Structure 1
C-alpha cells in the first residue's frame, strides 16, 4: 500500500461545505421548517427535547444498573424519583429563605436609595442627556404608551415561562421514563434498516461516540455547577449572609446559563450584600467572591476538564441564549448551551457536517 503524501493527507483531512445551491437552499428550508415547528409546537417539542437531554445525563447510571441486572423499568423509576425528588426537596427547602429575602425588598429600597445617593448626580446627568437626544429625534414629544411597564412586562414574561415549564413537568418525566426503559431500541431498529454491514457498523460507532461525548459533557458541566453552588453557599455563610442552601442553589442554576447567568448572579449577590450590611465596601464582598469563584471555574477548571473538543464559540453561545430564550423562555435559556454542544458533537461525528462542527468550536 502506497503511503499518502503530506498534501494528500491534508486534502483528506480538509473540511468541506456543500457548494451546490440546491443543497444549500434545501438545508436552509429544512432548518427554517424545524425552527417554525419548534416555535409553534413548543408545548409538545420542549418536553421532548428536555427529556432527551436528561436521558443522555442518566444513561451512564442506567448502564451501571443494567450491569447489576436491575430491571430497566425499576431502574428508570428509581433514577427519576431520586433526581426529581431531590429537586422538589431542595426547592421546598429554599422557598422559605427566598420568601424571607423577598420580604426585605420593600423596606430595603429606601435604604438602598440612601446608600447609593452618590450615584444620583451622574444618573440625573445621563437621564437629562438622553432626554435631550430623544427630544431632537423625529416624533419626539409623543407620550409613551408603555413607559414604566417594562419591568412588569419582564416579570410577567418570566412568570409565564416558569408556569409553562411547570406545566410541562409531568410530560417531561413521562417521556423520560419511556426513553430510559426503551434503551437502545431505536438504535437497533435503525441498524436493521441499514443496507449493508459497513453502514450498520458506522451507525453503531457514531451513535455510541456521540452519546458518550454528550454524556461526558453534560455530566461534567452539572458537576462543576454543583461545586460552584457548594463553594458559593459556604462562602456566603462564612461572610454572614446566611441561607447557604439558597445561595448555593442560585449559583448552581445561574451557572447553566453562560455569561448572562453569572452577570445576573453578580447583581443578585450585590443586592443581597447591600440589604444585609451597612458598610458599602463589605456590601460588595459577596458579589466579588461569587465572581471570583465563577472565574476560577469557568476560565481554569472546566476548560481543563472538558478540553478543546467541548469548547464552544462564545459569540454563538450568546446568540443561542438570546434566540432560545425568545423561542421557549426560561427553559430555552437553560437548554440553549446543551443543545449547541450536542449539535457541535453530532456534526463533528458526521463527516459531511464536520465543517459546521468546526465553526461551532471555540479557540480553547
Structure 2
C-alpha cells in the first residue's frame, strides 16, 4: 500500500496537480497569444532579429581578434565594419539597379503592345471571338507589369527597411559582443542547459548562413553570367535578387525567376523568356531545391518538411523578412523551447534531418542510494540525468 509521504522522497515523482490535457491546452493558448503579439510588432521584431543574425554572423571576427591577442575594441570595430559593409553594399546595389530599371522600363511600352497584338492574333486564329479576347486581355497593361516588377523590388528592399534602426542595433550588439563569451561562460556555471541552448542556436545559425551564402554566391554568379550571355537587361540586379532569394528555403528560385523572366519577355519575346525559365530551373532548382537543402539540413538539424513549414509560418507572421529568416527563427524557437531542457531534446529526433541518438543528447548515469521506504524499506536505484 502506497504511503502519501512517497511524493516527498528523492526519486519519487509527485503526482500531476492538473491534467496533462489542460497543460497542453494552456501551452497552445500561450503560443497563440505569443504569435499574435509577434505579428502585431512585426515591424520591430523583424529588423531586431535581422540585426541579431548579422551580429551572430560577424561574431567570429571578434573571436579571431581575441585569439590573435588584439584589443577587444579592435575586434568590435572590425566586426561592426563587416556588418555595415554587408547591409550598405546590398542596399547600394539595389538602389543603383532599381534606378536603372526605372529608366529602362518606359522604353519597353511599345514592345509590350506588340506582344499583346501577337496574342490577339494567335487567339483569333484559334477561333476565339473578339469579345472574348477583349475580356481576356482587358486586365493586362504595361502599367500592371511595371507595378509587378516594382513590387518585387520593394519586397527585396523591404528586407533592409528601417536602415537606421538596424545600423544602430548592430552598433550596440557589437559592443555587447565583446563580453558575450564571458557572459555565456558565467551562465554555464549556473545553468549549463541555457548555455548549451544558446551555443547550439548561435552555431546552427552561423552554419546555416555560411551554407546559404556560399550557395547563394554560386547561384548569383551562374544566373548573372547566363542572363548576360542571353542579353537580358540588368543581369547584376537579377543576380543580386537570386542571391537574396537563396535564403528563402525550398521556393526561393521561383521568386527570383519572375522579374528576369518578365524582363526577358519584353526584351526578346516569349522565346527568350522560356530560355530564362529553363536556365533558372536547371541552375537554381538543382542547386537550391536538391543540393542545398541536404547541406542546410545537416548544418541546422531540421528536416525538409519542418523547413518548408517554417517558411510558410514565418512569412505569415513577419512578411518578406520572415521568409528570409525562417530557418534562424526556427532555430531560436527550438533553442528556447527544446534545447534548453534536456528532457525535451528527444523532439530533435522527430524534426531533425536525421534521427540522432538520444543517448548522446541526454546522457544518463545510475546512482544507487538507499531510500527508506515507509512501507517496504527497500533499496531503489534511481537514474540521475546530467545535461550534456
TM-score (norm 2): 0.67
Cα distance, 1:303–1:338 mapped onto 2, change above 3 Å: same
Q: Distance in 1 between matches of 2:82 and 2:46?
A: 22
Residue in structure 2 matched with residue 6 of structure 1 by the alignment? none
1:268 matched to 2:252? The reply is: no
Name the SS for the 1:184 alignment partner. helix
Please list the CA deviations of residues 222-257 of structure 1 after superposition, one character each: whole Å capped at 9, or x if unmatched.
221122112212222222235443222111011112
1:224 matched to 2:221? The reply is: no
Cα distance, 1:160–1:310 mapped onto 2, change above 3 Å: closer
CA contact (8 A) 2:303 2:352 kept: yes
Q: Which has the larger radius of gyration?
A: 2
CA contact (8 A) 1:321 1:333 kept: yes
Q: Distance in 2 between matches of 1:102 and 1:346?
A: 45
Cα distance, 1:40–1:345 mapped onto 2, change above 3 Å: closer
CA contact (8 A) 2:250 2:288 kept: no
Please list the CA deviations of residues 289-312 of structure 1 after superposition, one character each: whole Å capped at 9, or x if unmatched.
122211221244324534546464
**Which residue, out of 289, 292, 299, partners 2:282?**
292
Cα distance, 1:78–1:231 mapped onto 2, change above 3 Å: same
Q: Distance in 1 between matches of 2:310 and 2:238?
A: 27
Q: Distance in 1 between matches of 2:77 and 2:113?
A: 51
CA contact (8 A) 1:348 1:358 kept: no
CA-atom RMSD, angstroms? 3.8
**Which residue, out of 153, 162, 165, partners 1:168?**
165
Residue in structure 2 matched with residue 252 of structure 1 by the alignment? 243
Task: Report how many aligned residue pairs link the two structures.
Answer: 317
Q: Counterparts of 1:44-55 in structure 2 under 5 Å?
A: 44-55=44-55
Residue in structure 1 matched with residue 72 of structure 2 by the alignment? 72
Q: Distance in 2 between matches of 1:332 and 1:316?
A: 15
Q: CA deviation at 1:270?
A: 0.9
Q: CA deviation at 1:88?
A: 1.9
Q: Distance in 1 between matches of 2:24 and 2:173?
A: 34
Q: Distance in 1 between matches of 2:273 and 2:45?
A: 43
Name the SS for the 1:297 alignment partner. helix
1:191 matched to 2:188? The reply is: yes
Residue in structure 1 matched with residue 321 of structure 2 by the alignment? 331
**Which residue, out of 345, 352, 355, partners 2:343?**
352
Q: Distance in 2 between matches of 1:80 and 1:207?
A: 21
Name the SS for the 1:269 alignment partner. helix
Residue in structure 1 matched with residue 111 of structure 2 by the alignment? 111
Contiguous gaps of at least 5 residues in structure 1: 1-18, 132-147, 195-199
Q: Distance in 2 between matches of 1:211 and 1:86?
A: 19
Residue in structure 2 matched with residue 208 of structure 1 by the alignment? 199
Q: Distance in 1 between matches of 2:295 and 2:338?
A: 19
Please list the CA deviations of residues 253-273 of structure 1 after superposition, one character each: whole Å capped at 9, or x if unmatched.
111123443212221121121
CA contact (8 A) 2:232 2:260 kept: no
Name the SS for the 2:69 alignment partner. coil
Q: Distance in 2 between matches of 1:355 and 1:175?
A: 36
Q: Distance in 2 between matches of 1:342 and 1:333?
A: 15
Q: Which moved more, 1:37-46 or 1:72-81?
A: 37-46
Q: Distance in 2 between matches of 1:119 and 1:321?
A: 37
CA contact (8 A) 1:210 1:346 kept: no
Name the SS for the 2:162 alignment partner. helix
